[in-house]
């Protein structure tokens, strides 16, 4: 449940300010370091209260899309984050904060690419469709 709430918060943040690569990279690095330190301190590999990974993963899934794609991106990201298909599950096993962040970033990337493919197939115009809001 904390991951879903964080994903909704990430979408709300994306409505207020544009998500860009620099922001995603910054939060990925800060999230990796802080989640590693916190998980080490409490002795839990991937604590559920750490949600920066869901925020970054959600932003990756939204990257390059206008608001009309936010709800489908949210649904797709949450499904991929929960079921953890290959290779998301494997990346989750990486050490320290990298594993905490990497599975959600990869789930976000997969959601983004799937949504781009669906957009191209059904809406036509390929990547041109993605630049319109």
Q: What is d(CA 46, CA 48) in angstroms, rounded to the nearest whole number?
A: 6
Give the range of the structural domain holding residue 60, as residue numbers without chain letter: 2-130
99-104 long-range contacts (CB < 8 A, ≥24 apart) are 99/45, 99/46, 100/31, 100/32, 100/35, 100/36, 100/39, 100/45, 100/46, 100/50, 100/53, 101/28, 101/31, 101/32, 101/35, 101/52, 101/53, 101/56, 103/53, 103/57, 104/53, 104/54, 104/56, 104/57
Is a pLDDT exceeding 70 seen at residue 131? no
Is a pLDDT exceeding 60 seen at residue 119? yes
Q: Model's pTM, two decimal places?
A: 0.88
pLDDT value for 66: 93
Structure tokens at 128: 């041109």
Give the model confidence (pLDDT) of 97-107 as tens digits.
788 999 999 99
How many structural domains compose the chain? 1
Query: Which regions of the chain does DSSP assign to beta strands (E)?
Result: none
Give the model confidence (pLDDT) of 16-65 as tens digits.
999 999 999 999 999 999 999 999 999 888 888 999 999 999 999 999 99
């Amino acid at each position: 449940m904390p991951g879903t709430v964080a994903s909704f918060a990430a979408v709300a943040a994306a409505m207020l300010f544009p998500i860009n690569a620099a922001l995603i990279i910054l939060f990925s690095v800060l999230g990796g370091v802080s989640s590693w330190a916190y998980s080490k301190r409490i002795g839990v590999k991937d604590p559920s209260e750490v949600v920066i990974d869901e925020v970054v993963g959600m932003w990756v899934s939204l990257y390059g899309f206008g608001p009309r794609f936010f709800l489908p991106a949210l649904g797709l990201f949450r499904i991929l984050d929960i079921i953890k298909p290959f290779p998301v599950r494997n990346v989750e096993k990486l050490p320290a904060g990298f594993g905490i962040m990497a599975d959600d970033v990869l789930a976000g990337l997969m959601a983004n690419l799937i949504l781009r493919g669906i957009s191209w197939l059904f809406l036509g115009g390929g990547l041109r469709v993605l630049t319109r809001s």
